[in-house]
Amino acid sequence: MSFGRLHIAPLIAEFLQRYPLIQMDLVLDDNTLNIIEQGFDLAIRATRLPDSTLIARKLAPLRSVICAAPEYPFRTALTSPACLADENCLLYSYSDDASHWEFMPQPETGKQPCT
């Protein structure tokens, strides 16, 4: 929903002014809906698309960050991303794979996060 509010909603007025014959209903929902069953013509998703007959195009990279309060009492020193496995974490409940975290080197430094 936040992606839609921040990046899609601000563009709607200009889009509809440019294309006045198009009728639009914007539905913002973090659940992964079946767009065929729901009658949608277009969906923007922030996830990997499983094998499907749907046509998909990558619009932009999506990166997440891991944050902790300065007062958080870490159980062990963070020497690698694997150290986070034993920590108490809040996960995004609508994620398809909320319990699976994939870490990649940061492009600007080439170092793993948390090292």
In terms of average pLDDT, the best of 14-18, 64-68, 99-103, 108-112 is 14-18
Q: Can you give the residue range of the structural domain that contains 31?
A: 1-62
Q: How many domains does the chain have?
A: 2
pTM: 0.60
Q: Are 2 and 52 part of one and the same domain?
A: yes
Q: Give 102's contacts (C-beta < 8 A, 6+ positions apart).
A: none
Confidence at residue 115, expressed as pLDDT on a 0 to 100 scale? 41
Examine the domain organization and report whether 11 and 46 are in the same domain.
yes
Residues 58 and 82 in one domain: no
| DSSP tag of 6 | I
Whether residues 16 and 51 share a domain: the answer is yes
What gap in Å lies between CA 64 and CA 3, rounded to an integer? 13
Would the pLDDT of 110 be above 80?
no
Of 60 and 37, the one with more pLDDT: 37
Long-range contacts (CB closer than 8 Å, 24 or more residues apart) made by 8-12: 8/44
Residue 98 above 70 pLDDT?
no
